[in-house]
Copies of this chain bind each other. A is one copy, B any other.
Amino acid sequence: MSIEATSTSVEQWDIFEVSLHGPTDGNPFQDVQISAQFTLQNRVVEPDGFYDGDGVYRVRFMPDTPGDWRFVTKSNVTELNGHSGEFSCTPASAGNHGPVKVRDIFHFAYADDTPYYSFGTTCYAWTHQGDELEEQTLATLKEAPFNKLRMGVFPKDYIYNENEPVLYPFVRDEAGTHDYDRFNPECFRHFEQRVGQLLEMGIEADIIIWHPYDRWGYCEMDAEQDYAYLRYLIARLAAYRNVWWSLANEYDFLLDTKPMSRWDRFFHILEDKDPYQHLRSIHNGHVDMNYDHTKPWVTHVCIQNWDVKKVKEWRNDFRKPIINDECEYEGNIPRPWGNISAEELTHRFWIMVVNGGYAGHGETYMHPEDELWWAKGGILRGESWKRIAFLRQIIEEGPAGGLTPFTESWVWTRVSGGRNGDYRLLYFGEHQPRQWAVGLPSAEEAADGSEYAIDLIDTWNMTITPLKPGPLPDAPATRGGVTRREAAFGIELPGKPYLAVRVRKVLT
C-alpha cells in the first residue's frame, strides 16, 4: 500500500492531491467510498475522493487558508482508510485570486476580494475535438477578452457538431454499449487538463453537467446514475478554483427524463458535497421556462433571453447577479438564437453591463468544416469579440465592483445608465441625442467645486474622445415634461447611434 501527496507544500487555492492504491475488483466506482478530513486548527474540511482507474484512488483538496494542514483518509475499504499526512499551504502568488464568489448581491469577486467582471463565451464541446483543435482554442482564448467559458462535460450531438468524441465519459464496449455505472477516467483526466489550462489563463470554467444534445443515452440515465455522475464530477473537479457549476444547458428540454425534483436534488448534492461552494446555476431553453432562480441554492441567475432591456427587472426579481449567457449569438446560421449581427451582440453586451448585469458571447458562423466557435472552439471569425474586449477594458478601468443601474426616471427604461459612486457610464444604443443631461452629476453633487472628466465612447469603432461640459439642454416647463434632472451641466454629442459617455469625478 502506498500513499502519495502531490507535494508537501501547496499554494492557497491550488490543488493538493493525495493518491492511494486500492482494490480493482468489482466496480470500484460504486463499491469504494473514500474521502479525507483536512484539518487546520479547529476547521475540518472533508472532500470526497474518487477512483481514477488502474487501482488508483485520489482525494483532491483546495486549501483556502495558509497554514499547516493535516489530513487523514476515510474509506469503507481498510487499505484506503486512516492514512494521514500533512502539508503546508502558502499564500497565493500573484495572479491567483481564488475562486469567484457573489459580492454585493449583484456582482462577483474572487476570494481575495479582487473584482471579477464576467465576460464569458461559449464552446460547448471543445474538449471533445482532439488536441489540434483544442490547442487552437486555447491559443485563441489567450488573445480573446473572455474570462469565463461555458463548456459541457458530455460530448454533443447537434447540427454542426456531429463528430464522435475522442473519449467517452463512460466505459463503452466495442459494440458501442455504454456502462453508465463505470466512468472512463481517461476522459475525465482530459477534461480536467483543459479546466486546469483555463485556470492558468485566468478563465473560469462554467461546467455544463447535462445537456439535451445527445445520441449516446446520457439523457436517459436514471436518477442514481445521475447522482453518482454528479458526485464523481464534484470529487474530481471541485478542487479547481475556476470551476462554476452549471447544472444544464436548456434543462427544460430534459424535463421528460429528468423531472424538476431531480434538478432540485442536483442542487442539494452540490450544496452537500462541494466543500468550496462553487457558484451554482442552471440555464433555460425556452424564455418562459426558466428554473426558479429565487431558490436559495442558486447563487446567480443564468439566463437565455434576447430582451436585454429587461435586465433591471431581472435584478429586482431575483436579487442575485444576472448573467445573460445567451442574449443570442453573433453568426449566420438558420437558428434565430445564432444569427445576430456583431453590432447587435455588442449593443446587447453594453445594455447588460451598463445596467449592472453580465452577458455571454457566442459565435455561430457557418463554416465548410463545421468549425463553429460556439460548439467546437477553434478560431474567432466575428467582430463582436473585439468590441467586448474594449468594453471589458472600460469596466476594469472603472471603480471596483461593477455598476448599479439608474432607475430614478422612466428615461432609463429606454436608454441605459449605470453608476458606481462618482463614476457614471451612460449608453445610448439606438438613441442618438445631440444633447443630454439626465444621469449626469447633479448641481448638488458638483456644489463642492468638483470637476469631471467626460469621455465620449464609440462602442463600435472603439474610440474614446474627451468631451467638455456643455450647457444644459432646454427643459419643458409644463407637466408631462421630461426634465433635465437638475444636472450640473449638459453634454453635446455627435448625434449618431451606439455611443456611450463616461463621467468620472476628478479630485481637485
Contact = CB atoms under 8 A, between A and B. Distances in A.
Interface of A: 157-160, 211-215, 219, 250, 253-254, 285-287, 306-307, 309, 328, 332-337, 339-341, 343-344, 366, 410-411, 413-415, 428, 430-438, 473-482, 484, 490, 495-497
Interface centre among A157, A339, A344, A476 (most CB of B within 10 A): A339
A232 B213 CA distance: 68
Contact of A414 (B254, B306, B332): B306
Contacts of A335: 433, 482
* Closest A-B pairs by Cβ, 10 of them: A253-B480, A212-B480, A336-B414, A159-B476, A344-B430, A334-B473, A332-B495, A334-B435, A332-B434, A339-B433
Given A213-B478, A336-B414, 19 more contacts: A158-B478, A158-B481, A212-B479, A213-B479, A213-B480, A215-B477, A253-B480, A286-B410, A287-B413, A307-B307, A332-B433, A333-B435, A334-B433, A334-B484, A335-B482, A337-B482, A339-B434, A341-B431, A341-B496
A334 B428 CA distance: 11
B434 A340 contact: no
Number of copies of this chain that the complex holds: 2
B333 A434 contact: yes
A430 B341 CA distance: 6
A266 to B, nearest CB: 18
A436 B334 contact: yes
Query: Secondary structure of the A side of the interface?
Result: loop
Contacts of A337: 414, 482
Contacts of A497: 340-341, 343-344
B336 A431 contact: yes
Contacts of A438: 334
A437 B333 CA distance: 11
Contacts of A482: 335, 337
Contacts of A490: 334
A286 B411 CA distance: 10
Nearest to A330: B432
Nearest to A249: B480
A478 B497 CA distance: 41
A458 to B, nearest CB: 14
Contacts of A214: 478-479
A247 to B, nearest CB: 15
Contacts of A334: 433-438, 473, 484, 490
A54 B489 CA distance: 54
Given A478-B214, A479-B212, A481-B159, A332 B432 contact: yes
Nearest to A347: B430
Contacts of A332: 432-434, 495
Nearest to A159: B476
Interface centre among A212, A336, A430, A433 (most CB of B within 10 A): A336
A70 B78 CA distance: 112
A160 to B, nearest CB: 8
B430 A340 contact: yes
Nearest to A436: B334
28 contacts: A158-B476, A158-B478, A158-B480, A159-B475, A212-B478, A213-B480, A215-B477, A219-B479, A253-B479, A285-B480, A287-B410, A328-B414, A332-B434, A332-B495, A333-B433, A334-B434, A334-B436, A334-B473, A334-B490, A335-B433, A336-B415, A336-B431, A339-B433, A339-B434, A341-B430, A341-B431, A341-B432, A343-B497
A482 to B, nearest CB: 5
B333 A478 contact: no
Nearest to A250: B480
A187 B433 CA distance: 35
Nearest to A257: B479
Nearest to A156: B478
